Amino acid sequence: MPPRIALRGVSKVYRPPKKPPYLAIDGVDLDVDQGRFVSVVGPSGCGKSTILSLVAGLIPATAGTITIGGDPVHAVRTDVGFLFQRDALLPWRTVRENVSLALRFRGLGRREIARRVDPWLDRVGLAPFADNFPHELSGGMRKRAQLAQSLVVDPAVLLMDEPFSALDVQTRNLMENELLELWGASGKTVLFITHDLEEAIALSDELVVMTAGPGRIKARYPVELPRPRNVSEVRFAPGFVSLYERAWSDLRDEVLRSYERSLRSAS
Amino acid sequence: MSAQVALGVERVPLTRRDSFVRALQVGVILFFIAAWEGLGRAGVLDPFYYSRPSLFVPRIAEWFAPGSTAGDIWGDIRVTLIETVLGFVIGTLLGLIVGYSFARNRLLGLAFDPLLSMFNAIPRLVLAPVFILAFGIDLASKVALAVTLVFFIVFFATFAAVRDVDQTLVDNVRILGARRRDITFEVLLPAAFSAIVASLRTSAGFAFAGAVVAEYLGSNAGLGRRIANSEAFFDSTGVFGGIVLIALLALLLDSLLQIAEGRSSRWKPRRER
């Protein structure tokens, strides 16, 4: 079977106004097979978020090709789910209205929307808060609402951009487990971006380490830990620590390089 | 044993009680009125210039008495309110349309930026004579002045809100399948409305001020004209009667808008006390 998501020689040059252009990612080749959970880790500024924006078609690639399910990405892909790091719920819409958005944009009727939204509100535990506004929810609840908002149209691909990095550690572990549970039997393909190596290993089938900007792929590791996993327990599983150490030795150099560069540009 | 904090029965200190704060507010107003009256009677404030509450309150009552010789007070109020509402509605619509277009079209915004900045730098009230010459002493010149005052407030609020809209919100709805029209109605306009609602009370106040000032400078009806007429006869009691009436009307308008603002911003986070 061909890979669900494929990047071939993908580069991206940003041209900010009144600043020199810079190369964010450079010649990235990446395959994500159908149903796999792949995480990309890298130091801040390595262009890992750029990869997701390119795959979703939010910004055009400068060079290379990207395909989802064999279709080249030319414009915004509405057949993927995207979870942002920042709050992306419309603050002036209730939870139910937010979760309904994708169905409304597809022109579905009121009754059909309710029939498909209600089970999702139940599944993420937000049914009692359906008529609340986002600011009335906790950070974890807002993330769950966003998860339901993306999944209500049952996308085959889920793109996640450091979705839990703003949450406290306990809530984050809960959310990671809930994500694994939702994903478990769904057969969805997940491309997950994070700067947290532990999170990346705990969740994924495969780990991709990137270099400091311009981002290139430095190493790939299969994660052969048994599923189903509990993210707060899998950290003690045999194999976790040795994989962590190997990946960290790759990542450490890049983190240092990125840090030194930020010091230099600040002075 | 754990210390129990009783919810609900905790005693609120006097200075935090609503009723106490209300009483204090009424007290301040009463003190102000009494001081005015007292200083006027003692000869410190010459009533010829500054009038006295005991003079202008009966005057206002006289205006409202049936068969008053001072002209139709309800007619004056109606005229001023119509000018205010028209100026407010037209100014808001123009500000919204122009602000939205300029924020969405970079070149358009850049092209008009210096001209608009120039207009905004003019103290708008000096345009009143221009409008009176151009539109006459009837309704139109008052509405025009109110429009120019409201327009810039709404224009800047809309322009900033649409230009600085959170790109994450736009990207998210695009992936959820929003077309251009959906982005406008689901993200950009709601962001603009929330900025407009926040400036609603300011712009309504300006509309009211614009209408009254234009009336004062040249008209045949309205509360501003009533003040101008009294002034022409060195009748400070009539001037203050008009001012107090205008203040009460502005207060009424503002409290109505406060209710409207509260209703339309239930989605906004509020600080708990």
Tell me the per-residue pLDDT of A217-231, one tens digit each, with 9 for 90 and over: 999 999 999 989 999
How many angstroms away from the CA of A223 is the closest CA of chain B? 30
Nearest to B169 among A56, A90, A150 (CB): A90
- Which phi-psi region, left, alpha or beta, contains residue B67 (left: φ > 0; alpha: ψ -120 to 50)? left
Q: Which residue of chain B is at minimal alpha-carbon distance from A102?
A: B176
3 state DSSP class of A234: helix
Residue A153, chain B, CB below 8 Å: the answer is: yes
Note whether B171 contacts A77, CB cutoff 8 Å. no
Note whether B267 contacts A105, CB cutoff 8 Å. no
Contact list, A108 vs chain B (CB under 8 Å) = none
Residue A84, chain B, CB below 8 Å: the answer is: yes
How many angstroms away from the CA of B98 is the closest CA of chain A? 23
Per the structure block, which two tokens stand in for A74?
Answer: 């030319």
Q: What is the pLDDT of residues B59-78, one digit of tens each?
A: 999 999 888 887 889 999 99
Note whether B168 contacts A80, CB cutoff 8 Å. no
pLDDT category at B273 given cuts 50, 70, 90 is very low
Q: What is the pLDDT of residues B70-112, one digit of tens each?
A: 788 999 999 999 999 999 999 999 999 999 999 999 899 899 9
Cα separation values, B182 from A94, A118, A130, B173, B187, Å = 17, 23, 22, 8, 8
Residue with tokens 């969740």, as numbered in its chain: A203
Residue A74: what pLDDT?
93
Tally of helices (H runs) and strands (E runs) in chain B: 12, 0
Residue B2: what pLDDT?
56
Contact list, B185 vs chain A (CB under 8 Å) = none
Q: What is the pLDDT of residues A153-178, one digit of tens each?
A: 999 999 999 999 989 999 999 999 99
Pairing label, strands A63-68, A5-14: antiparallel
With 60 as the cut, is the pLDDT of residue B1 above it? no
Note whether A58 contacts B175, CB cutoff 8 Å. yes
Of A199, A201, A209, A206, nearest to A43 by C-alpha is A209
In a 13 Å sphere around the CA of B237, the CA atoms on its Cβ side amount to 16
Q: Is residue A38 a contact partner of residue A48, using CB atoms and an 8 Å limit?
A: no
Q: What is the C-alpha to C-alpha distance for residues B256 and B261, in angstroms, rounded to an integer? A: 9
Q: Is residue B267 a contact partner of residue B210, using CB atoms and an 8 Å limit?
A: no
Instruction: Count other Cβ atoms within 10 Å, centred on residue A217.
Output: 19
With 70 as the cut, is the pLDDT of residue B264 above it? yes
Which domains are present in chain A? 1-72+194-233 (3.40.50.300)
Residue B9: what pLDDT?
62
Of A103, A51, A104, A48, nearest to A73 by C-alpha is A51
